[in-house]
Each structure stands twice: as structure tokens, then as C-alpha cells.
């Protein structure tokens, strides 16, 4: 999809405003100076929630005494909800509050959740009595009643706050650049890479320092540090108030989309003209068409929707619910076209769910000692790809992109869709590595109950996935942001986070489904025991590897369809 002219807003140029609603000044507002404050929140918020999410299975299993499979589902449902609620944040931002105000409100909601988690972890009366779930799991008291209520209330306050923050962190930072200007477009691409770098820094600190604090000083102290990190992130956001250029909310973002479908249905008996120039292209008769729906070129996709552009009352004004512009219809076509791209990343995030749940438990059954009695917490192993990525991401930005630009002429080096495709293909080998290592681990532990294999044997699956995530996650964010028009940036970015949500929910469904299908009279299924030495996690990983490869070829088809 291409846009005519210099401005994507086409007929009406959108004016960015400062926090008081005054027009922004080019020499004072926006640019990387303003984006840095947003990146500060990105790093510290990620630090806070990653420390909780990546080690949450240990907390709910060992201290809240939920069975292993249920603990894994609690974690995946929590993380899935975080990303699903990104839609709420995107909607409120684009429709009513704007990115900055949305971040202020829900940032403090997330902070309150961290504080409540810390209080429950600190007070023994809010947790079940101490019990060893590994050796005596059948006799341990599972968290119920008001204790479970406090746990889930705190977790979902964090989920609500973090979910509503995530799309707005990206969109507010990206709004500091003009994507239609060639120089600004390059800076925008750089911003997405730096944002991922900030994400990596936050993850790295969380998975090393904060997880170590949780393991050695207690989960209450660990949750307290997460709350402190979130507080610092909010200070960073507020400190940049005078520098931000803000996009004004425009009312319900669903209205213009609904108008297209309603108008097309009303005129379903009309015949689409063979000449696209006969379709309604002027906004003069469509006063309610939102600012930002620019002069998009007509395409032959989804021709039924073109009926919304057919004039039936010559010379008379028609309601926007009966007559839409070509540009308005084309924007709806873009949204429909990106849905399959979005759907193809769900399996990718199902793989991520395994690395944050079963792979952590996998590591706990292995030899975690490094030297002289020093043991590495299993959750810390997830930091390995981020140690690598804090070096790889700058090299990607400074070496690969300039070289690729010379070859392809693309501002981003390679297109966002090409970047996503590379990541989806590489992710398959993460599960292949996980399956091979798990098979060897089971054999090793069958001969030695203490586990003779070093925990670093599972490092390759994290490293491979880290590389794939650098391509897929950043490519998807850049793709969706560049496809969005003014007034819908946060919501479309929120759609990318929904991929994480559906991926984690799919993980929960697959775990339950696999257990039911593989259950027999003598065994409960591949993943039904609290002991991985009795489970068949390796077969589950092989299944995911096969699904990932099939998903890659599905993505190739839909990405090719997008450009038709």
C-alpha cells in the first residue's frame, strides 16, 4: 500500500501538541531527545515485570503450592493477559486519553500491583504453610480463598498496567519522529532497534540481578526491587513531559471502520465499477471522516468493500454510514490484510512461553553449580540471549543496516516483513535444540537422580530464540506502526502484543490438550506429573518444532499475499 504526496494525512495536516495542548516547536519538541525518556521507562518497566514473569513459576509452585502444570498455566495466562490488555491501552490512547496520559494512569496501576505482590510474599499469614513441593507435593496445602484472591488481584493489576503501557511506550516514542520524511524514517527505524536494545537491557538486569535477589534474599525483596524499578521508570517518563510531541485522541477509532462495513452491506446489491476513478475519493461530502485517513491508492483486494465508495445520490450529500472515501476503505483493507501476518506470529510466542515455564523447570533438574559451590538460578539462564543481544543489536544497527540499505535501497535495510520471516524460520531450531537436550537430560537423570548434565546445555535454545526474537519482534512492531495512519498507531501496535497473548494462551491449551490426548490408564500424559523425569517434555518440544516449521511456510504465503 502506498500513499500519495508528502503527508499521510493527505487533506488535513495533523498538528502535534505539547502536554498543555499548544502546537509543538521543531527545535524544542520531539526527536531522539524526547524518545530517550520513553526508552528509560521501557528499560525499567521491562526490568520490573520480567523479574516477576520469568521466575513466577518458581513462586507459585514452591511457595503457593500449585501443581506444576497448573503453575505453568497460571504463568502463561498471566503473561497472555498482559499482552491481550494492550488492546485496552491502545484503544484508550487513540480514542480518549492520548499515549502520554494513558501511560501515566496505567503506570501507577502496575506499580500498585508490584507493591501488593511484595506485601503478600513478605507476610507468612498471606501464604500457605511452608512445604517441599518436589518431595512432598501431594501433601502440600494449595493456596485458596482470600490468599489466592490477593495473589491473582496483584498479578492482574500488574497485567492491566503493563498491558496498557506496552503499545503506548512504542507509539509515544515513535511519535517523536515523522515517518514520511526520509531522514526521520531512518531515525524511526533506529528508534525501534534502540527500543529493543532497552528491552534487552531490562530483561538482562531482571534475569541476573533481580532473579538472584529473589533466590537469595527472598521473593518479597525481589518483588520490592521490581516495584522500585517501576517507580524509577515512571520518574523517567514524567521527566520528559516538556519535550514530548503528543498526538491528540480522535474519539472512537472503530467508528470509521464500522462505517465502511455498514456502507458496503447497505450497498451490497450495487455493482462495483470497473474504473476505480468512478469511486468516491473526495472528503468534501464525508465530513465525519477522521483526520489521518489520507490519499491511499485504490487496490483490487476485497472488492466487496469498494461498494462503500459508490455514489447513489448524484449531487446530494450522503451520510458517512452510506458513503465512504476510497482512502477510508483502503485503510480497512490494510487492517484486514495484516491480520494473517499477526496470526502467523502466535506459534512463535507459544515457543517463547515454553522458555519461560518448562525450560526454567528443566534447568532446575540439572546441575546448576558453576564453580566452588556457586549455583546459578535456573531462571537466570534466560539472560544468556540478552547478554548476546546487547552486542548484536548495535552491530545490526551500525553494520548490517547500512550495508543492506546500499543493496536494497530500503530505509530499514530489509523490509519489516522480511525481518519477521527470518525470525520465524530461526525459531524452529530453538525447539529442535530443546527437544534434543531434553532427551539427553532424561537419560542422564535416569542414571543419576541429582542430574549430571550442566544447566548450560539448555543455553542454545535460549540463544537461538533470542536471535529469532530480534528479527521477529522488532520487524513486527515496525511493520504495524508504518501501516497505521494517524489516530490508530497505539491500537495497531497493541495488535502485535496480542500475538504474545494468544501465543501464551495457546500454550495453556496445548498443554491441557496434549495431556488429554496422551493420557492412558497407567500414565496421565506427557506433561501431567510434577516430575519432568517422568514427563515427556522432549516429545512436546518436537511437536512445537513441527508446528513452527509449518507456520513459517504459512507466513511466506500470507506475506506474499500482502503485496499483491
The CA distance from 426 to 355, in Å, is: 15
User: Buried (b) or exposed (e) across 425-447, using 16+ Cβ within 10 A?
Assistant: bbbbbbbbbbbbbbbebbebbee
For residues 385-410, give the mean pLDDT. Answer: 84
Say yes or no to pLDDT of 398 above 80.
yes
Average pLDDT over residues 364-372: 76
Question: Pick the residue with more confidence: 450 or 483?
Answer: 483
As a whole number, mean pLDDT of residues 174-184 equals 73
Alpha helices in 206-325 (DSSP H): 211-217, 219-239, 254-266
313-327, 419-433, 466-480: least confident range: 313-327
pLDDT of residue 224: 92
Q: What is the band of 493 on the pLDDT scale with cuts at 50, 70, 90?
A: confident
Q: Answer yes or no: is pLDDT of 4 > 70.
A: no
Q: How confident is the model at residue 277 (pLDDT cuts 50, 70, 90)?
A: low
Cell of residue 91, nine digits: 484503544
> Highest mean pLDDT: which of 18-27, 46-55, 146-155, 325-334?
146-155
**Structure-model confidence comparison of residues 367 and 1, the more confident one:** 367
Distance CA 475, CA 72 (A): 28
Grid coordinates standing for 15? 498538528
Distance CA 312, CA 290 (A): 22
The CATH code for residues 16-251 is: 1.20.1250.20
For the residues of 394-426, what is the DSSP string, one character each?
HHIIIIIHHHHHHHH--TTSS-HHHHHHHHHHH
Whether pLDDT at 293 is above 80: no
- Please provide the DSSP assignment of 507-523 as one string: HHHHHHHHHHHH--SS-
**H/E run at residue 330:** helix 326-343
Strand partners, 103: none
Q: What is the dihedral of CA 532, 131, 226, 393, to 10 degrees?
A: -10
In angstroms, rounded to a whole number, what is the distance separating the alpha carbons of residues 95 and 528?
A: 45
Give the mean model confidence (pLDDT) for residues 159-181. 85
Whole-number percent of the chain with pLDDT over 90: 20
- CB-facing half-sphere around the CA of 244: CA atoms within 13 A: 27
Span(s) in the chain for CATH 1.20.1250.20: 16-251, 334-563
What pLDDT shows up at residue 289? Answer: 45
93-131 per-position pLDDT tens digit = 888 888 899 999 999 999 999 999 999 988 888 888 888
Name the CATH code of domain 334-563 (choices 1.10.3720.10, 1.20.1250.20, 1.20.120.160, 3.10.20.30): 1.20.1250.20
Does residue 133 register a pLDDT over 90? no
**Phi and psi (nearest 5°) for 454?**
-70, 145
Mean pLDDT, residues 176-202: 79
**What is the chain's mean pLDDT, rounded?**
81
The pLDDT assigned to 269 comes to 84
Handedness of CA 423, 425, 426, 430 (dihedral sign): positive
pLDDT over threshold 80, residue 263: yes
Question: Mean pLDDT over residues 302-314, rounded?
Answer: 81
Cell of 190: 533506529
**Range in 204-208, 316-320, 377-381 with the lowest mean pLDDT:** 377-381
Query: If residue 374 lies in a helix (H) or strand (E), which one and from where to where?
Result: strand 374-375
The pLDDT tens digits for 514-536 are 888 887 766 677 877 667 777 78
Q: Specify which of 158-162, 198-202, 278-282, 350-354 reaches the highest per-range mean pLDDT.
A: 158-162
Amino acid at each position: 500500500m502506498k500513499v500519495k504526496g508528502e503527508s499521510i494525512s493527505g487533506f488535513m495536516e495533523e498538528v502535534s501538541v505539547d502536554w498543555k495542548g499548544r502546537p509543538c516547536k521543531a527545535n524544542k519538541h520531539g526527536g531522539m531527545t524526547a524518545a530517550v525518556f520513553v526508552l528509560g521507562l521501557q528499560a525499567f518497566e521491562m526490568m520490573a515485570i520480567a523479574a516477576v514473569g520469568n521466575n513466577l513459576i518458581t513462586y507459585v509452585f514452591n511457595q503457593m503450592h500449585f501443581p506444576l502444570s497448573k503453575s505453568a498455566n497460571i504463568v502463561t495466562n498471566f503473561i497472555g493477559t498482559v499482552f491481550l490488555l494492550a488492546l485496552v491501552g491502545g484503544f484508550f490512547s487513540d480514542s480518549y486519553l492520548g499515549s502520554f496520559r494513558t501511560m501515566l494512569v496505567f503506570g501507577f496501576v502496575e506499580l500498585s500491583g508490584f507493591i501488593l505482590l511484595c506485601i503478600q510474599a513478605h507476610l507468612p499469614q498471606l501464604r500457605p504453610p511452608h512445604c517441599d513441593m518436589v518431595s512432598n507435593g501431594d501433601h502440600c496445602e494449595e493456596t485458596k480463598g482470600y490468599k489466592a484472591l490477593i495473589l491473582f488481584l496483584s498479578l492482574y493489576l500488574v497485567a492491566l498496567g503493563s498491558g496498557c503501557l506496552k503499545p503506548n511506550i512504542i507509539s509515544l516514542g515513535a511519535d517523536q519522529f515523522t515517518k514520511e520524511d526520509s531522514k526521520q524514517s531512518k531515525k524511526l527505524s533506529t528508534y525501534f532497534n534502540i527500543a529493543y536494545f532497552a528491552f534487552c537491557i531490562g530483561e538482562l538486569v531482571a534475569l541476573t540481578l533481580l532473579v538472584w535477589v529473589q533466590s537469595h534474599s527472598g521473593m518479597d525483596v525481589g518483588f520490592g526491587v521490581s516495584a522500585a524499578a517501576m517507580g524509577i521508570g515512571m520518574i523517567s517518563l514524567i521527566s520528559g513531559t516538556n519535550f514530548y510531541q503528543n498526538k491528540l485522541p480522535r474519539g472512537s477509532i472503530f467508528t470509521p471502520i464500522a462505517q465502511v462495513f455498514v456502507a458496503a452491506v447497505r450497498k451490497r446489491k450495487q455493482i462495483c465499477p470497473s474504473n476505480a476513478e468512478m469511486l468516491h475519493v473526495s472528503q468534501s461530502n464525508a465530513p465525519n471522516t477522521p483526520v489521518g485517513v489520507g490519499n491511499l491508492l485504490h487496490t483490487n483486494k476485497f472488492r466487496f468493500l469498494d461498494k462503500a465508495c459508490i455514489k447513489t445520490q448524484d449531487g446530494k450529500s450522503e451520510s458517512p454510514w452510506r458513503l465512504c472515501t476510497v482512502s477510508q476503505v483502503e485503510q480497512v483493507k490494510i487492517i484486514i490484510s495484516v491480520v494473517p501476518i499477526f496470526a502467523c506470529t502466535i506459534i512463535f510466542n507459544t515457543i517463547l512461553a515454553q522458555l519461560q515455564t518448562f525450560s526454567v523447570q528443566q534447568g532446575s533438574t540439572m546441575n546448576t553449580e558453576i564453580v566452588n559451590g556457586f549455583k546459578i538460578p535456573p531462571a537466570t539462564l534466560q539472560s544468556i540471549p540478552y547478554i548476546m543481544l546487547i552486542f548484536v543489536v548495535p552491530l545490526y544497527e551500525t553494520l548490517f543496516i547500512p550495508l543492506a540499505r546500499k543493496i536494497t535501497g530500503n530505509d530499514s535495510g530489509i523490509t519489516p516483513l522480511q525481518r519477521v520471516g527470518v525470525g520465524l524460520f530461526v525459531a524452529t531450531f530453538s525447539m529442535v535444540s530443546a527437544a534434543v537436550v531434553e532427551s539427553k537430560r532424561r537419560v542422564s537423570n535416569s542414571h543419576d537422580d541429582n542430574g549430571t548434565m550442566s544447566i548450560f546445555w539448555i543455553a542454545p535454545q535460549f540463544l537461538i530464540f533470542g536471535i529469532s526474537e530480534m528479527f521477529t519482534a522488532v520487524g513486527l512492531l515496525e511493520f504495524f506502526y508504518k501501516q497505521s495512519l494517524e489516530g490508530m498507531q497505539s491500537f495497531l501496535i497493541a495488535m502485535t502484543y496480542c500475538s504474545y497473548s494468544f501465543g501464551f494462551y495457546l500454550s495453556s491449551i496445548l498443554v491441557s490438550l496434549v495431556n488429554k490426548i496422551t493420557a492412558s490408564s497407567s500414565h496421565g500424559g506427557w506433561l501431567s506429573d510434577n516430575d519432568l523425569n517422568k514427563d515427556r517434555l522432549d516429545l512436546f518440544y518436537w511437536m512445537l518444532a513441527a508446528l513452527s516449521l509449518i507456520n513459517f511456510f504459512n507466513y511466506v504465503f500470507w506475506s506474499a499475499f500482502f503485496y499483491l
